[in-house]
Amino acid sequence: MDRSEILLSFLKDYRDHYLPSVSLDLVIFGFHEGQMKVLLIRFKGSQDWLLPGGRVRKDEDLNEAAYRSLRERTGLEKLFLQQFQTFGKVDRLTHFSWEETLTKMGLKEPLESLGVDIASFWSRDISVGYYALVEYTKVNPTPDIMSDECQWWDIDQVPQLLFDHNDMIRLALKTLRRQLSYQPIGYNLLPEEFTMSELQSLYETILGRKLDRRNFYKQIMNYDVLERLEKRPTIPASKAPYLYRFKKERYEQLLNEEDLSVG
């Protein structure tokens, strides 16, 4: 199969098996060395970056599509994933053209000659925004068919992105920070067992500010969501800290109390 045939079958697959008019975008947050990162892709044959996204199969739940897309970009399963807003401005994809995109993807002949009338199944997209929290070191960033590169960016060095994607990141971060105040977070971001300062550092990174060690300890223990273990790993030049782990049932309970999302 030459490149155009592959594209043709890709387009037909889209038309036949995916919902038209609906897409989704992922704001994937990671944490590394005290820095908050976000995963971006570089658009095929271009210097422009944007958020990874996906589409919804006709036989697939919306949330499931988001999990699948996340898996495809990161190689990870069962992550913290949360819908935060649906974007639907008419002009949100200004400058996007299928024709041009397909050319960059390797289309040689004009589109009509392939016998696919794109306008008939694509007008414009409503996009459902999700944000995810992932463990940076476990991620294997993988470009999709429409991108050349997939990599982490420091959250405060994200360039001007295509479309409305800078807005999406801003709103995702804001929603995440608010959510942090009434939900426990960390289950999929930390190893099974972790120290209090690892957890605190995660919170500090998300919130973008320092927290008082003692107050943090009291608050988090008040949630009754952590279990302290007897193990105390030795750490160079310091007292051996306790390890903690999440009480699974309590953690789930807190999540569910605050979220009757039906995706």
Partner DNA sequence: CCAAAAGTGTTAAAGCTACACCCATGT
Partner DNA sequence: ACATGGGTGTAGCTTTAACACTTTTGG
Residues near its own copies (CB under 8 A)? 19-22, 56, 58-63, 65, 83, 85-90, 92, 123-124, 126, 128, 164, 167-168, 170-171, 174, 260-263
Q: State the nearest-atom distance from the C-beta of 70 to its own copies, in Å.
A: 15
Choose the one of DNA, its own copies, none that binds residue 235, judging by a C-beta under 5 to 8 angstroms depending on kind.
DNA
Minimum distance of its own copies from residue 176's CB (angstroms) = 14
Phi, psi (deg, nearest 5) at residue 217? -55, -50
Q: Which of 238, 249, 260, 262 binds DNA (CB under 7 A)?
A: 238
Contact by Cβ (8 Å): 155, 172: no
Site for DNA in 211-230 (CB under 7 A): 212-215, 217-219
> How is residue 192 annotated by DSSP?
S
Which segment (62-70, 106-114, 121-129, 189-197) binds DNA by CB under 7 A?
A: 189-197
Tokens in use for 81?
């994933």
> Nearer Cβ to its own copies, position 78 or 174?
174
Q: Give, as one character, the DSSP assignment of residue 194.
A: B
Under the rule (CB under 7 A), what is the footprint of DNA?
195-197, 212-215, 217-219, 234-242
